[in-house]
A and B are shown apart, each in its own frame.
Chain A
Amino acid sequence: MTVLNRIVWRLLMLLAVVLCVTLITFVISHQLPGDPAQLMAGPRAGPDAIEKMRAALGLDRPLHIQYARYLHDLLQGDFGASIVTQRPVLSELAAVFPATLELMLTALFISVTLGVILGVAAAVRHGSWFDHFIRASATFGISVPSFWLGLMLLLIFYGQLGILPGVGRLDDALDPPAAMTGFYTLDAALQGQWAVLRNALEHLLLPALTLALVSFGGMLRVIRASMIEVLSEDYIRTAIASGIPRRTVIFNHALRNALIPFVTVLGLEFAALLFGSVVVETIFMWPGAGSLVLEAIFALDFPMIMCFTVIVSMAYVIINFAVDLLYMAINPQIREIG
């Protein structure tokens, strides 16, 4: 398979996945026990009014026509209106998304740093007690429920020690910085509001750490395994034997090759973080997409739930597509053999 074929193939896959997700959300939205026309018309509407609403919503047409219309609306960015607030769900979701993205990127940064440093350190001391200890903690990391870990961190650092703030993105006394990126930390730094920056970082730490601690284990395991494999290669032994400093060999020669399989894990970890953010945002009352969708679940606000599902799924497949491109770019073997 040439590189071009591979890219075309991945694009087709991407399309199939998006179709599949929209089909699932469409069928869910239309086979629900409740009657959307009844819901939209309100509890005191008579049968005539409900029929009228049904026609207005296009619910009297055959299912495949409705699906085509649904897709058509999605392509226009029309995901429908929230049953609770009556406002377009997409703009509601877009308004809170920076908060989620800020949390996820911080978590990703922490877990990649932890995963790479500890993974390399364990691989270099392969077989030692340090290696066993790191490996055991990585396995424990992927075994701990994130929602429980978040509660325990909250209990220790907020409840017992009182050194970190508990919930939200900022103390109530502080005003959020004027929105430029939507990231409180970045906006505060750009506008030189150092007190706000410090406070925003303190609020960010516990939820980000919760997400990071449950996801670094997977990364560490991959880095460690591929690092051990690379370190046993002949060219590494040759490099060490020829007198190149060990540090240079590890970081410049070995790590660069060991990072290749790691890239594919990043895409998968992103999915885990997306769902993890739903759970962690609830615990820390983080006003992001996760909190919003959770409220929607309790209010049976299906347009909101389906919008979240479609957007997250699309983000997921697009990121994995990007990761695949990156993988081809940094792995010369794939470029040559294909």
Chain B
Amino acid sequence: MARRRLQTLVDLARRHPAAASGFMMVVMIAGMALLAPLIAPYDPDAIALDRRLLPPGPAHWAGTDEVGRDLLSRILWGARASLAVGLGIVTIASVLGTLIGCFSGYVGKTSDSLIMRLMDVVMALPGLVIAMALTAALGPSLVNAALALGLLAVPYYTRVARAQTLAIKQLNFVRASKVMGAGTWHQLRVNIIPNVLPHILVLMTMHVGAAILAAAALSFIGLGAQPPAAEWGALINAGRHYVLEQWWYSAFPGLVMAITVYGFNLLGDGLRDALDPKSKSRSIG
């Protein structure tokens, strides 16, 4: 049984090599983030002024920063911050978006059109610029950056959730349940939301990469993670002033970040293709 399941997985990976390699990258980075306290060679915040700005070498694989902190350790711990903020943004957007979208689609009528027009307006905003203004006003912090970016992404989930809800609510089991006297909340909780979730999960996977990039960009301009926190965007920003002489300072965190986002994007594309029958027939045939 276990072997057959493994065989299915291998077949799946063979049919979608891009998605499989994306999955591997995501697993690798997530492992790094989870195991950071165990595998990081040094304390990420330990200052050693006699080892400032050392190039990569056997003692410090990714070199050290301007106060002698080990960069590899900071990159590993930074994976936690960056992944957490990426997932945080996606969670805020997906939870709110799904609830609003399912409610809007199920209830219909005036509230539906009002909600969806409001979503149109939010979608028409230049997200990163508004997020920048909001974060600057709320006070620069990674939590505020995540809040702003998460709220601005709600409409994308609302649209998908609503479209799916409209299709599901026509199905017999939902109508039967309504005839039996099920209330709106019960319907949403038991019949609608569970059936919308697969589509939301695909959207979440496709969104994580962009969310990590956006949060890091805000950190890079000083609105996200604050020093001395180890976060990828903040690390690249700190290394900016040394880039011509101490290239490793900015180069390594950015490279790890690019691989992470690439992995999420490959995985998201693959999942979407798998759900979309049009591209499925293409990849099999």
Residues of chain A whose beta carbon lies under 8 Å from any beta carbon of chain B: 13, 16-17, 20-21, 24-25, 28-29, 31-33, 136, 139-140, 142-149, 151-152, 154-155, 158-159, 271-272, 274-275, 278-279, 282-283, 293-294, 297-298, 300, 302, 305-306, 308-309, 312-313, 316-317, 320
Contacts and interface: CB of A to CB of B under 8 A. Distances in A.
Interface in B192-244: 209, 213, 216-217, 220-223, 233, 236-237, 239-240, 243-244
Nearest to B217: A279
Contact of A274 (B129, B240, B254, B257): B129
Given A20-B125, A144-B258, A283-B240, A155 B134 contact: no
Contacts of A151: 236, 239-240, 243, 250, 254
A279 B220 contact: yes
A143 B261 contact: yes
Given A151-B240, A159-B243, A313 B217 contact: no
B117 to A, nearest CB: 8
Given A25-B133, A309-B129, A312-B129, A155 B269 contact: no
B223 A297 contact: yes
Contacts of A152: 250-251, 254
Contacts of A159: 243-244, 247
Determine chain A's interface SS by DSSP, over half rule. Answer: helix
Contacts of B237: 147
A158 B244 CA distance: 9
B124 A17 contact: yes
A158 B247 CA distance: 13
B223 A320 contact: no
Interface string B104-129: 00000000000001001110111111
Contacts of B223: 297
Contacts of A31: 137
A297 B221 contact: yes
A14 B2 CA distance: 57
A143 B262 contact: yes
Given A155-B243, A312-B129, 15 more contacts: A16-B117, A20-B125, A28-B137, A142-B265, A145-B213, A147-B233, A147-B236, A148-B258, A151-B240, A271-B127, A297-B132, A297-B222, A309-B129, A309-B133, A316-B125
Contact of A305 (B136, B139, B239): B136
Determine chain B's interface SS by DSSP, over half rule. Answer: helix
Interface of B: 18, 117, 120-122, 124-130, 132-134, 136-137, 139, 209, 213, 216-217, 220-223, 233, 236-237, 239-240, 243-244, 247, 250-251, 253-255, 257-258, 261-262, 264-266, 269
B125 A21 contact: yes
A275 B129 contact: yes
B121 A16 contact: yes
Q: Count chain A CB atoms within 10 A of each CB in B133, B209, B221, B257 and give the residue with the most.
A: B133
A189 to B, nearest CB: 31
Nearest first, the 6 closest Cβ-Cβ pairs linking A and B are A148-B254, A275-B128, A143-B261, A143-B262, A28-B137, A159-B244
B125 A313 contact: yes
A283 to B, nearest CB: 7
A87 B247 CA distance: 40
A31 B136 CA distance: 12
B250 A320 contact: no
B217 A306 contact: no
Contacts of A28: 133-134, 137
Nearest to A309: B133
A145 B258 contact: yes
B133 A306 contact: yes
A159 to B, nearest CB: 4
Given A159-B244, A317-B124, A278 B221 contact: yes
26 contacts: A20-B125, A24-B130, A28-B134, A31-B137, A32-B137, A139-B262, A139-B265, A139-B269, A143-B213, A145-B213, A148-B258, A151-B236, A159-B243, A271-B127, A271-B128, A275-B128, A275-B129, A279-B221, A294-B221, A297-B223, A300-B136, A302-B137, A305-B133, A309-B129, A309-B130, A317-B124
